[in-house]
Structure 1
Amino acid sequence: MIKVDNVSKNYGSFTALHSIDLEIGDGEFIAVLGPSGCGKTTLLKLLAGFMGPTEGTISMDDTLLASAKRVLPPEKRNIGMVFQSFALWPHMTVAEHIKFPLSYHPNKIKEGKKELQERINEVLKLVGLNAMADRYPSELSGGQKQRVALARAIAPLPNLLLMDEPLSALDVELRMEMRKEIQKLHRETKASIVFVTHDQGEALAIADKIVVMNQGRIEQIAPPEILYTRPETEFVATFVGKCNLVKGQWQNAGFVPAIDSKNVWPDLGVAESFKGNGIYPVRPEQFQLTAAEQDGVQGIVSFVQYQGHEIHYTVEVGEETWTIHESVFASRFQPGDFVGISLKNAPVQQKSLFTR
């Protein structure tokens, strides 16, 4: 268990982290998600021991790793790190990259040469590099280099594996493949992983839990599905996937869109912060379009984008612009068409909700 307790980090007069509280369970895969400058890399550096907090403490299994007065250096922590730039040594072979941490890590192998070689072979097999043990980094592809970086990090069986945007230097297809590799390594090593990324799809695809950060603060911590379907703040709603923030009024158990008071939408688990601001967050796929003469909020289609499995519509609704995703098998609409908009699997009109 890693515990970050009320941690803040200042750089002069600038505060990079504000009172961060976070717990990472044994074997848990945590993705830290946020825009550039939100503090996610600063948090990773604190966990690694590259610097200490201005306030608060960081501990692992009841051992104090860092406070404002004392910082246990990286080489004395049972951690592994994977960097965005791979950070491989050009003069070392693949096998030598794996051997290095086994010789110098706090968790290093204390047995003889035979046991050391067995562990190297085991790790090579785990990352699928058995046939490339004697190759140098210059002889490897980008994906193979990333596998070497992963192998080096997991070789000494660290309790905590830190990854700083490890896939951002790879092309799209390779990133998809490496996501599977990282998930496989997580299952096999059972290490706790903190994976820093600014890619929402990446975080949703691979993490057990996502920490969303903004301006040095944690906005929400939740499993991917909860984070996507029940965001707690406007920032989370718009940063993690697309979201329409519909303005209106909350009355009793329903929401009345400002654009059309005849329509009432039921509460499908909307957070209190949205209700207080008179907002209903709706994901693009939660809307459905019908012909304009049918029930629903009325709008005009302004843009249509074909995406293979989906049609992405941009619809002008009064002074608001809504994004709506429909299946290619649903009714098709063209720019200029008048349409009705309603929530899927939800009654369009619920007058009884407002009976006093």
Structure 2
Amino acid sequence: MNSALATGVSKRFGNVSALHQVDVAVGQGEFVALLGPSGCGKTTLLRLLAGFEAPTDGEIWINNELVADKAKRRPPEERRIGMVFQSFALWPHLTVYENVAFPLRHQQHVPEEYRKNPRQRVSQMLEMVGLAGMENRYPSQLSGGQKQRVALARAVVFNPALLLMDEPLSSLDAELRMQMRKEISHIHRELGTAIVYVTHDQSEALGMADKIVVMRDGKIEQAGTPQEIYYAPQSTFVAKFVGRANFLKGSWTDKQTFLLTSKEQTVPIRVTRDCTPFHAQSLLPVRPEQIRLRQWHRDSQGITGTVKHVQFQGRELLYSIQAGEEEWEVVTDIRERFDYGQQVAIEICV
């Protein structure tokens, strides 16, 4: 059973096509991240799910009810959705309690027990987001993180079928973003509400989502679990956009054997994942942590390289390794230290 379903959805603004035949399914209780660069269509898709825009083609379903197609559109207040915006969107003249209680008075599909006893429900939500005792404060008296917690509490207070979040953490500093990721994940576990989360931050998507939908130029480039997106990218765009990737050049002899050509030598690499989309390009995508460096000896077999650059990253070291005509990024444990100009033996572990 899906909390939300977009089938064949397209959206045009005049002569500009923002979405092209997009299909997205959000299961009950599922956390789906829409990930992509600016202008890829992810916010347009979110606005279509919310009811702020109508699709040019296709259908949108929420809780197994058709809420929009090109002929009709049900307004946001009739869709049982919660929204969290990048700008918090709190009413400055209302207290924290009044901001959070607002949907209980104005939303449709509010459970009767919440409507009859709003103060108890608001107190539950504020306690859940760590703001108990702040009911009488105004937004101007809150920090950025507290404002975002109020926005979260307001979005879920009426038990929505779907929670839509549009880059909610982008205006917070790095430490607050990490804390709010934990808060959002906690709320998701506690309430079990399906979430569609728009972001351009790959680490947010990888760390929080059950499923990631990578978008590019109004189309879906790839959809899958964070592990599938990271370790089995289906295009060079996904491999580059979600994490760092090296593209090894060579040739494929079969689905599990890649022949790497480096310094006039050919080295076979055994591949355990599906890389079919890269066969025609004669490439093998490899993550920096999938390359191991060893001390080079005269009897070392396989690929050799030279350390061109080293960056200390706290728990790890980031190397630039010259291998033939190519330069690869390699991440190693802090204990594996190699010097500038040092020759190393290279092992590919894919």
TM-score by length of 2: 0.95
Note if contact 2:209-2:226 (Cα within 8 Å) is conserved in structure 1: yes
Residue aligning to 1:223: 225
Of 332-341 and 7-16, the range deviating more from structure 2: 332-341
Residue aligning to 1:259: 262
Mapped to 2, the partners of 1:176 and 1:113 lie a distance apart of 34
Count of residues in correspondence between the two structures:
344
Of 137-146 and 311-320, the range deviating more from structure 2: 311-320
**How do 1:123-134 residues align onto structure 2 when only pairs under 5 Å count?**
123-134=125-136
Letter in 1 for 2:346: I
Residue aligning to 1:277: 281
Note if contact 1:287-1:342 (Cα within 8 Å) is conserved in structure 2: yes
Q: CA RMSD in A?
A: 1.4
**How do 1:43-54 residues align onto structure 2 when only pairs under 5 Å count?**
43-54=45-56
Alpha-carbon offset, residue 296 of structure 1: 2.8
Residue aligning to 2:291: 287
Letter in 1 for 2:320: T
Mapped to 2, the partners of 1:111 and 1:155 lie a distance apart of 12
Match 2:196 to one of 167, 174, 194: 194
Alpha-carbon offset, residue 187 of structure 1: 1.1
Alpha-carbon offset, residue 271 of structure 1: 2.3
> SS of the counterpart of 1:166?
coil
Residue aligning to 2:155: 153
Residue aligning to 2:310: 304
Of 107-116 and 127-136, the range deviating more from structure 2: 107-116
Q: Deviations over 1:167-226 (max 9, x none)?
A: 111111111111110011111111110010011111111111111111111111111112
Letter in 1 for 2:340: P
Letter in 2 for 1:86: F
Match 1:212 to one of 203, 211, 214: 214
**How do 1:115-194 residues align onto structure 2 when only pairs under 5 Å count?**
115-194=117-196
Matched, 1:333 2:338: yes
Matched, 1:316 2:317: no
Note if contact 2:62-2:79 (Cα within 8 Å) is conserved in structure 1: no
Letter in 1 for 2:293: L
Note if contact 2:63-2:161 (Cα within 8 Å) is conserved in structure 1: no
Mapped to 1, the partners of 2:116 and 2:54 lie a distance apart of 39
| Structure 1 stretches of at least 4 aligned residues deviating more than 3 Å after TM superposition | 109-114
Alpha-carbon offset, residue 262 of structure 1: 3.1
Letter in 2 for 1:285: E
Residue aligning to 1:61: 63
Mapped to 2, the partners of 1:203 and 1:190 lie a distance apart of 18
- Structure 2 unaligned spans of 5+: none
Mapped to 2, the partners of 1:94 and 1:188 lie a distance apart of 22
Note if contact 1:270-1:280 (Cα within 8 Å) is conserved in structure 2: no
Residue aligning to 1:232: 234
Q: Deviations over 1:21-71 (max 9, x none)?
A: 111001100011101111100110000000111111111233111111111
Mapped to 2, the partners of 1:124 and 1:328 lie a distance apart of 42
> SS of the counterpart of 2:229?
helix
Mapped to 1, the partners of 2:83 and 2:221 lie a distance apart of 25
Mapped to 2, the partners of 1:215 and 1:302 lie a distance apart of 36
Mapped to 2, the partners of 1:82 and 1:296 lie a distance apart of 52
Mapped to 1, the partners of 2:195 and 2:138 lie a distance apart of 27
Alpha-carbon offset, residue 258 of structure 1: 2.4
> SS of the counterpart of 2:322?
strand
Residue aligning to 2:106: 104
Of 271-280 and 206-215, the range deviating more from structure 2: 271-280
> SS of the counterpart of 1:156?
coil
Alpha-carbon offset, residue 340 of structure 1: 1.9
Mapped to 1, the partners of 2:119 and 2:50 lie a distance apart of 28
Letter in 2 for 1:186: H
